[in-house]
Amino acid sequence: MATAGSKPNVHRAELTPTGVAQIYLERLGVRLEGQSVAGVETWLRVPEWSLAIDVGRSPEPIARCKHLALTHAHMDHAGGLAQYLSLRQLYAFEPPTVYAPAESCADLQAIVDVWGRLHRRAFDWQLVPMRPGDEVDIGGGRRLRALPADHVVPALGYAVIERPSRRKAQFATTAPDVLRQLAANGVAITEPMERLLLAISGDTLPTVLDRVPELLTAEVTVMETTFLDARRTVADARVGGHTHMDDVLARAASLRPHVFVPYHISQIYTATAARAVFVERLPPELQTRCRPLLP
């Protein structure tokens, strides 16, 4: 590989890929960026959290994220892993932490080890096996939780959560000086609450919408919606372990996120055609909350 210079973290503007979807999530004060075309490539990132999700290819912006959560080991989601590690080394960024379905970790490690031998330099990274329900600290007071997914290979979704403390309900109207006195006397006047910031489904059958509450209740949900209309049937979606817009529409009433982000849209739709389908097919209430991950 090329050697890291004495001035790391260089950046040439033309390394920023074109056609990247950028969604500003006002409620969270962060950007969701990425490219996602089913079978071709999927990568997303929230730069403010230094968190990437999937690395189907590894353009330069992904390498800037210290945390990488892999949903599954299909090529269009994980094929850029070694390049991601290589770019971080080139830029002299600190070694990243990669989270992946536990069943896939031995093979992912083996592939990276082979690349390290080819480069005559081992990659410095940490690989964390994840199972549904596992949680890890990703800094900034946030935690990453693995969610179940139903795909044709071992797969996970992820949720990003916060646990800020809030005043207990029984003290909602208590005067500040009384609260101070209570606290001084050792009374616990606050309790932790869970705030579900973002949930992402990964590649999955729509069954997750019936059994993974995080996808229904997160403030922002990023949901696989590979096929959008009759150009491909629900049965076509099932062949690859995927979700069809018909499946989402059947569950629209239970989708409560403030922002709903369909992604992993098939290459049979241009971005313009896909947007037209969302306008045509989504009920108005869901449409106002829908921000598809399209360039």
Binding mask 18-57 for Zn ion (x = CB under 5 A): ----------------------------------------
In the stretch 183-212, what mask flags binding to Zn ion with x, by CB under 5 A?
A: --------------------x---------
Please state the closest distance from residue 155 (CB atom) to Zn ion, in A.
Answer: 7
Nearer to Zn ion, 25 or 100 (CB): 100
**Of 74 and 244, CB closest to Zn ion:** 74
Closest contact distance (angstroms) between CB of 236 and Zn ion is: 15
Concatenated DSSP letters of the chain: -PPP-SS-S---GGGSPSS-EEEEETTTTEEEEEEEETTTEEEEEEGGGTEEEEESS--HHHHT-SEEE-SB--HHHHTTHHHHHHHHHHTTPPPPEEEEEGGGHHHHHHHHHHHHHHHTS----EEEEE-TT-EEE-STTEEEEEEE---SSSBEEEEEEE--EEE-GGGTT--HHHHHHHHHTT---EEE--EEEEEE--S--TTHHHH-HHHHHSSEEEEE--B-STTS-HHHHHHTT--BHHHHHHTGGG---SEEEEE-B-TTS-HHHHHHHHHHHS-HHHHTTB-----
Judged by CB, which is closer to Zn ion: 59, or 241?
241
Q: Give me the least distance between CB of 199 and Zn ion, in Å please.
A: 18
- Name which of 57 and 74 has its Cβ closer to Zn ion: 74
Q: Count residues near Zn ion (CB under 5 A).
A: 2
> Binding residue for Zn ion (CB under 5 A) from 45, 57, 67, 74?
74
Report, in Å, the least distance between residue 141 CB and Zn ion.
31
Q: Is the Cβ of residue 89 or residue 243 nearer to Zn ion in the bound state?
A: 243
User: What minimum distance in Å lies between the beta carbon of 8 and Zn ion?
Assistant: 34
In the complex, the residues that contact Zn ion under the rule CB under 5 A are 74, 203
